Amino acid sequence: MSEENRSIIPFGPQHPVFPEPIQLRLVLQDEKVIEALPMIGYVHRGLEKIAEKKDFHQNVFLVERLCGICSFMHAWGYCQGIEALMNIQVPDRANYLRVIWAELHRMHSHLLYLGLVADAFGFENLFMQAWRCREEILDALEATAGGRVLLSVCTIGGVRKDITQAGFQKILNALDRVEKQFREILPPFIHDYSVKERLVGVGTLTPEKAYELGAVGPTLRACGVKWDLRETGYAAYGRLDFKPVVKEGGDSYARTMVRLDELYTSASLIRQAIQTIPAGEVAAPVKGNPTGEFVSRLEQPRGEVIYYVKGNGTKNLDRFRVRTPTFANLAPLLAMLPGCELADVPVIVLSIDPCISCTER
């Protein structure tokens, strides 16, 4: 086919399927994608520079606003770095509470993803059912933390508030209702002919390529690579029975199946944490200012997030840097697109569950 038959079209930044503003410049030959070039920067807010101007305590609220979908985990990653610099020992109970809120966040993030995928297929009823299920999780977060999206309960040294027995029971009741709804909404994602036609074999990535390009989270584990930072046992994960969800195939269907199974894994982790949580304080005292530098890592819904903090002994940080999982997954995304049909591009982009607001900071 001659070069004259090639065309370049802008895909985004505003698109009915995209949840976030990103533009892909697609080089096409007829309806087939030959190359994809990303154009980012539409929602850059300069948060890393703002963090250097704020008190290191104030930054906890700032980093939560990197992303609403995984706000608690952003606060946790930052606090974990500052705690390491200041040699703060987080109480055991606080570590368990962090796990509970983090896994609730993971569930609501994955349910949001399922709703967006269903909407991309035109399955409006399935979209509404997935998000109705997500509302149960958001209600549990609101009942225990006071917020539905931005919780503001994670703090340097632990958490700001405890969960009562009544609060734990509300969470367990919500999980019971959610798991009952899973049995109704998940089969279409797994077995429906139309869904499988749109996902199976679409946006394939080999394990070698995924590892080489630095894929993280469900994008990496869907390629058969067992890599989940929760296995390192940080916070209370080392005391809970946990096995990463790994699938073969490396396509959009496998990435969706990883998230489906992780819903059950998160529910199991929450139940275990509630059953075994120890008594005690929920926060340790914080004295002085951070000195030195540290790299903090944890597993967000989309994959591994990395926080770099550098203190100089004053209330302001010398340097603050965050590497989000979506940024890590952009290079693998660009490797998935060549060879696909133009109509498959929205589904492939959605399959990495992009959060461009996180990426651009």
Looking at residue 324, its amino acid is: T
**Integer Cα distance of 238 and 100 in angstroms:** 14
Contact 47, 317 (CB under 8 A): no
**Integer Cα distance of 255 and 165 in angstroms:** 36
Starting at the earlier edge strand, list the strands of the sheet with 32-39: 6-11, 23-29, 32-39
Measured at the alpha carbon of residue 295, what is the angle toward residues 151 and 209, in degrees to the nearest 5? 95
358 is in an annotated binding site: yes
CB-count burial class (<10 Å; 0-12, 13-18, 19+) for 20: buried
Q: Is 35 helix (H, G, I), strand (E, B) or coil?
A: strand
Task: For the chain, report the end-to-end CA distance as a whole number of angstroms.
Answer: 41
| 48: its two tokens | 């890393």
How many other CB atoms are there within 10 angstroms of residue 142's CB atom?
14
Question: Shortest CA distance to 151 belongs to which of 263, 73, 258?
Answer: 73
Looking at residue 159, its amino acid is: V
| 361: its two tokens | 């900071």
133 is in an annotated binding site: no
Contact 243, 206 (CB under 8 A): no
Query: Looking up tokens 């998000």, which residue turns up?
Result: 131
Query: Residues annotated in the binding site, as ranges?
Result: 48, 67, 70, 322, 355, 358
Query: Residues annotated in the binding site for Ni(2+), as ranges?
Result: 67, 70, 355
Query: Residues annotated in the binding site for Mg(2+), as ranges?
Result: 48, 322
Query: Residues annotated in the binding site for Fe cation, as ranges?
Result: 70, 358
